[in-house]
Chains A and B, each alone.
Chain A
């Protein structure tokens, strides 16, 4: 995001022009938030948008909440380094994040959620296994991990406002959080989803335009790809260290079992790709529609959204190498550089720099709105899920309070936003991409086995789910603190306790994402513990699986 800011500043963009555009944008957001507020009367309206959401709004909201600035700028820049192998993540996002998620997870989540009267993800799992404790545990995990993610997204948005509007960073942080807070607190999930639909539409338009202009700039689809393919020998020539790590070019996969191969496959493709299935802020959206018909329609819209946004970002990121290496690109200092060299080693800068150098200023305006939309839509869904966990799931369960559910959830959201702002102030720079990957991985390891079991396995027990979630979180944290080199080295806990940067230094362990072992472990623990503990009652199962009763 810092790069984007630098790109904006260097582009000759008219600050007043962009300021007016942002003002109009904020007014429309305000109007949509107000619509949400006017349509919110019950806690069902506030938490699951009255279960009557239009499929377009649902699909765009799901996509906009799913895809943040981190996915577009952060991972787009990673594609500038790793190349088009990252397109497997687009495939995974659509196959798992949309197709499997909506058809195999969404339908049952919606039907079971309605049957059990659940309005949040913790409440859904808690009621499915008849356990208030589980609801509290999941709510607590959400409250601990989601503010970390929402704060890194907040940092990105605030840095952007700081550079574009030329206001101090802490003011930008406050303003950005306040705008989102107002429509989330008052508009509830209805307000969030209406605004998300607008933002999702802007994101599709912005990213598609970026892709088309990129191909035009580089002479067409096949010439652009061919030029990138022909650059492969430059890896060994200009980046011998990276070549040793397994990089073989931008249109080929890294060498099998190399450091880069493990990073691409374990962290990016599998961790982030599968991780989308178990994110509480996404799962709750399945409960916002009134029938499976809306989910069927949302599959179409959601898949097109993901292809147009992340597909465009990763393709443009990789192809930016062709532009930066061209000898006649028509910009100041026509030095032939690889994208990562042009960005001075910071992949976050690749996409913004490409836009600044290669495309018309008007695209930067649209891209600015695209980035604000990506950040705000993700943040609003995270604030909403944190607040509902804190207020609806934890506070009301612990205190057995009979007070107004909407009021307490609003207070929970307010508290969640304050925590996120404080965390954002405290976090060091350069945390955005790492924070995102950690969040996705922990969510998958902690929640996915139990979520699948809740939907499909009658034999899953409450004790099994407790054990699985605990094992998933514990193994993820152990991996992050002691095994995965990136986090273990920067946190330094392993070094302090054992004297070594990582516990196992034999390849490939330092580069294997914790998700790769935490997730299977959580599955095994769930199955083993469930087999030896008390099964759920027949009455509960027949409510959750009414179809099996009929046959």
Chain B
């Protein structure tokens, strides 16, 4: 567990990296998709 003493703290560290990875993958997949709205 990376030398950590508690699964919950381990989960926080791994979870932070994983959620960042999810954001990175999301950003890459949707890099060129999106809609534009014009000002009224």
CA gap between A223 and B2 in the complex, in Å: 9
Minimal beta-carbon separation of B9 from chain A (angstroms): 5
Per-position binary interface string of chain A over residues 276-312, scored 1 when its CB falls under 8 Å from any chain B CB and 0 otherwise: 0000000000000011111111111111101100010
- Is A184 an interface position by the 8 A CB rule? no
- A300-B23, A300-B28 known; A293-B12 Cβ under 8 A: no
Closest chain A residue, CB of each to CB of B2: A225
Chain B residues with CB below 8 A from A303, complex form: 19-20, 23-24, 27
Chain B nearest CB, measured from A192 CB (Å)? 20
Among B8, B13, B15, B23, chain A packs the most CB atoms within 10 A around the CB of B23
B37:A99 contact, CB within 8 angstroms? no
Distance between Cα atoms of A115 and B39 in the complex (Å): 6
Residues in chain A near residue B30, CB distance under 8 A: 293, 296-297, 299
Q: Is B35 a contact partner of A291 (Cβ separation < 8 A)?
A: yes
Closest to B8 in A: A253
| Chain B 5-22 per-residue mask, 1 if CB under 8 angstroms from chain A, else 0 | 110110011011101101
Residue pair A115, B23 in contact (C-beta under 8 Å): no
Please name all residues of chain B whose beta carbon is closer than 8 Å to the beta carbon of A222 when the two chains form the complex.
2-3
Answer whether residue A372 sits at the interface, using C-beta atoms and an 8 A cutoff. Answer: no
- Assembly CA distance A110 to B39 (angstroms): 10
Q: State in angstroms the CA–CA spacing of A292 and B40 once bound together.
A: 17
Which residues of the other chain, B, contact A311 by a CB distance below 8 angstroms? 16
A369 lies within 8 A of chain B by Cβ: no
Decide if the interface of chain A is mainly helix, strand, loop or mixed. Answer: helix
Complex interface: stretch among A6-14, A21-29, A89-97: A89-97
A173 contacts the other chain (CB 8 A): no
Which residues from chain A contact B22 at a C-beta distance below 8 Å?
99
B38–A302 touching, CB < 8 Å? no
Give Cα A340–Cα B38 distance, bound, in whole angstroms. Answer: 54
Residues of A within 8 A of B19 (CB): 91, 94-95, 99, 303
Which bracket fits the contact residues of B? 20 to 34
With both chains docked as a complex, state the minimum distance between the C-beta of A66 and any C-beta of chain B, in angstroms: 15
Q: Are A98 and B23 in contact (CB under 8 A)?
A: yes
A-B contact count (CB 8 A): 128
Known A44-B39, A87-B13; contact A94-B23, beta-carbon cutoff 8 A:
yes
Contact of A229 among B3, B20, B36 (CB under 8 A): B3
Knowing A110-B37, A293-B33, A294-B34, the reply to whether A300 touches B24 (Cβ < 8 A) is: yes
Could you tell me if A296 and B16 are in contact, using CB atoms closer than 8 angstroms? Answer: no
- Give CA–CA (A302, B20) in the complex, Å: 9
- Name the residue of chain A whose CB is nearest to the CB of B26: A299
Q: Quick one: CB contact mask for A109-132 with B, threshold 8 Å, 1 for yes?
A: 011001111000000000000000
| B23/A302 in contact, CB under 8 A | yes
| Chain B residues in 8 Å Cβ range of A115 | 37, 40
Is A350 interfacial (CB-CB < 8 Å)?
no
Q: List 16 A-B contacts (CB under 8 A).
A: A85-B6, A90-B16, A91-B12, A98-B23, A99-B23, A251-B9, A252-B8, A252-B9, A292-B34, A296-B31, A299-B30, A300-B27, A303-B19, A303-B20, A303-B27, A307-B20
A-B pairs with lowest CB-CB distance, top 7: A300-B27, A293-B34, A225-B3, A303-B23, A226-B3, A252-B6, A296-B30
Footprint of A on B, CB under 8 Å?
2-6, 8-9, 12-13, 15-17, 19-20, 22-24, 26-28, 30-40
4 new A-B contacts, CB < 8 A, other than A84-B12, A232-B5, A296-B31, are A87-B16, A114-B37, A229-B4, A296-B26
